[in-house]
């Protein structure tokens, strides 16, 4: 049966939509790309967020062929998961993992595959299902990204970082190829405003919102220690910005609520960071259904507008996870010993990264000027760095000598960008080698 014939048989015509719920009233298709950019049980919330987003889109009538999912897929069957095979996104919530397509998992969740999927370039893919945004000039695209971030960077579990300039260049190329009519991006990450600040033009028909501005963390929620969170969960179940927009979708008629209205609702509920918006503001007047389909409210939707009592900075969520595991493990048990080792290793890693960056700053600029340079934040409207290739080269240099930046240490891309902006040449990054040759013996010890 052809697509048009199927549409006639199904007879979808709710709220003026033309034909299949996969299509909008202007006969364009709805497409979605969902990305959880982390791995590990302590990052449970990112994959839970993405799975919940999938359920909203699926309930809205989008077909799996129009939804692309990037997730490492190491949570549902993780030995630490108290409900094997199940992922929830709020306390005592329903299983959001069921039915989620595994398009790109494991090491196939990487920047190159992400860019290829956005551009519809199957030949550039390396692994995965092969699904791409095969969209055209009448189509509408929704992209949601949940992960750790830092100034100008989004995390990935493999293949390096997603840099803001590279992502914006991909979006520009997608626009130039007439690959969509309009696009909406929701980004959950620390300093996520810096992904678009001074970089996203307002003439690409793209509207973006972020969990935080260019200088602050985003926050996990439904975390261990909160009254409603089952004690067997040692990790946050969701992210505050993310569950705010998704729980709003669960209880609203998406044909009646606009993007702008949802932005205001999410901004008010996300009280630990400043939710931001960028790009073409004319799309604020469009209904959510243009991008998320005809989803109807669900009976067990979380209707309370209350704020969770425990919201944890994304950069501290790992630390909370290990602390909670250690506190709950039986005294004298093997689990207690292992949790203690993990906690001490996390603390030592943080101290090492603090020490190395501070030493690089002092060796590059001197003791008096170092802090001023490293902590500088450019004014609103300016991009993070003048030369993005130099930034990437400096990050590679650091990671080659000092190790991959952790979910805590990734925040130091701001300091590395400042080093680039100050005109430090690559040769001066031998400071990294000096740090490694002469480590502070007090760091890294338990």
Q: If pLDDT is split at 50, 70 and 90, which confidence band does 242 have?
A: very high
First to last CA, the chain: 66
The residue written with tokens 């889109």 in the block is: 57
Residue 162 makes CB contacts below 8 A (sequence gap 6+) with: 37, 111, 114, 153, 154, 155, 156
Contact of 103 with 65, CB cutoff 8 Å: no
83-97, 279-293, 408-422: range with lowest mean pLDDT: 408-422
List Cα–Cα distances, 339 to 128, 247, 324, in angstroms: 34, 33, 9
Q: For 298, phi and psi rounded to 5 degrees?
A: -110, 150
Among 1-10, 152-161, 434-443, the range scoring the smallest mean pLDDT is 1-10
Beta-carbon count within 10 A of 376 CB: 13
Overall average pLDDT of the 329-334 stretch:
90
For 171-235, the DSSP string reads HHHHHHTT--SEEEEEEESTTGGGGTTTT--SSSSEEEEESS-SSS--EEES-TTSTTS-TT--S
Torsional sign, CA 9, 15, 17, 22: negative
Q: Could you confirm whether 51 is annotated as catalytic?
A: no
DSSP 400: H
**Could you tell me where the beta strands, DSSP code E, fall in 244-326?**
276-279, 312-313
> What is the C-alpha to C-alpha distance for residues 31 and 123, in angstroms, rounded to an integer?
20
Q: In terms of C-beta distances under 8 Å and separation of at least 24 residues, what long-range contacts does 164-168 make, across chains too?
A: 164/194, 164/195, 164/196, 164/199, 164/383, 164/384, 164/388, 165/199, 165/383, 165/388, 166/111, 166/115, 166/388, 167/115, 167/195, 168/195, 168/196, 168/199, 168/200
| CB-CB contact of 219 with 308 (8 Å) | no
CB-based contact 192:218 (threshold 8 Å): yes
Strand runs labelled E in 214-371: 219-221, 238-239, 276-279, 312-313
Identify the residue with better confidence: 283 or 17. 283
Q: Check 46, 148, 161, 302 and give the catalytic one.
A: 148
pLDDT tens digits, 194-218: 999 999 999 999 999 999 999 999 9
Binned at pLDDT 50, 70 and 90, residue 257 comes out as very high
Query: Per the residue annotation, which of 190, 249, 402, 420 is the catalytic one?
Result: 190
β-bridge partners, 232: none
Residue 148 known to be catalytic: yes
pLDDT of residue 159: 95
Tell me the per-residue pLDDT of 98-114, one tens digit each, with 9 for 90 and over.
Answer: 999 999 999 999 999 99
Can you name the residues that pair with 69 across neighbouring β-strands? 34
> What is d(CA 144, CA 53) in angstroms, rounded to the nearest whole number?
8
pLDDT value of residue 95: 98
E-only strand ranges, 281-428: 312-313
% of the chain exceeding 70 in pLDDT: 86
pLDDT at 18: 37
Q: pLDDT at position 307, please?
A: 56
Tell which wins on pLDDT, 382 or 127.
127
% of residues, the chain, pLDDT over 90? 72
pLDDT given at position 77: 97
């Amino acid at each position: 049966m052809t697509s048009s014939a199927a549409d006639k048989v199904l007879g979808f015509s709710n709220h003026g939509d033309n034909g299949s719920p996969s299509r909008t009233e202007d006969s364009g298709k709805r497409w979605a790309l969902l990305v959880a950019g982390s791995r590990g049980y302590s990052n449970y919330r990112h994959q839970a967020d993405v799975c919940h987003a999938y359920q909203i889109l699926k309930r809205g009538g989008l077909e799996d062929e129009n939804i692309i999912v990037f997730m490492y897929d190491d949570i549902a069957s993780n030995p630490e998961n108290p409900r094997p095979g199940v992922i929830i996104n709020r306390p005592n919530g329903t299983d959001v993992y069921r039915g989620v397509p595994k398009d790109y998992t494991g090491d196939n969740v990487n920047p190159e595959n992400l860019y290829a999927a956005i551009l519809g370039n199957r030949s550039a893919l390396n692994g995965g299902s092969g699904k791409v945004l095969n969209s055209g000039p009448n189509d509408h695209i929704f992209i949601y990204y949940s992960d750790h971030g830092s100034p100008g960077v989004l995390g990935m579990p493999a293949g390096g970082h997603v840099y803001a300039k590279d992502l914006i260049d991909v979006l520009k190329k997608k626009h130039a190829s007439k690959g969509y009519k309009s696009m909406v991006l929701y980004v959950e990450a620390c300093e996520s405003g810096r992904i678009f600040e001074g970089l996203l033009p307002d003439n690409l028909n793209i509207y973006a919102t972020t969990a935080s501005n260019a200088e602050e963390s985003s926050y996990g929620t439904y975390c261990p220690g909160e009254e409603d969170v089952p004690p067997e969960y040692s990790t946050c179940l969701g992210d505050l910005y993310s569950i705010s927009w998704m729980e709003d979708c669960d209880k609203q008629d998406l044909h009646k609520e606009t993007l702008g209205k949802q932005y205001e609702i999410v901004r008010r509920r996300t009280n630990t960071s400043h939710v931001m918006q960028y790009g073409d503001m004319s799309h604020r007047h469009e209904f959510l259904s243009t991008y998320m389909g005809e989803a109807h409210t669900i009976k067990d939707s979380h209707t309370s507008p209350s704020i969770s009592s425990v919201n944890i900075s994304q950069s501290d969520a790992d630390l909370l996870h290990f602390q909670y595991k250690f506190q709950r493990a039986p005294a004298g048990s093997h689990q207690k010993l292992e949790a203690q080792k993990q906690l001490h290793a996390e603390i030592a890693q943080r101290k090492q990264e603090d020490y190395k960056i501070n030493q690089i700053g002092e060796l590059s600029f001197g003791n008096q000027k170092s802090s001023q340079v490293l902590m500088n934040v450019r004014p609103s409207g300016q991009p993070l760095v003048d030369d993005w290739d130099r930034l990437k080269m400096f990050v590679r240099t650091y990671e080659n000598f000092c190790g991959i930046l952790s979910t805590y240490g990734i925040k130091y891309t701001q300091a590395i960008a400042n080093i680039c902006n100050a005109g430090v040449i690559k040769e001066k990054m031998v400071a990294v080698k000096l740090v490694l040759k002469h480590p502070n013996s007090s760091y890294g010890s338990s």
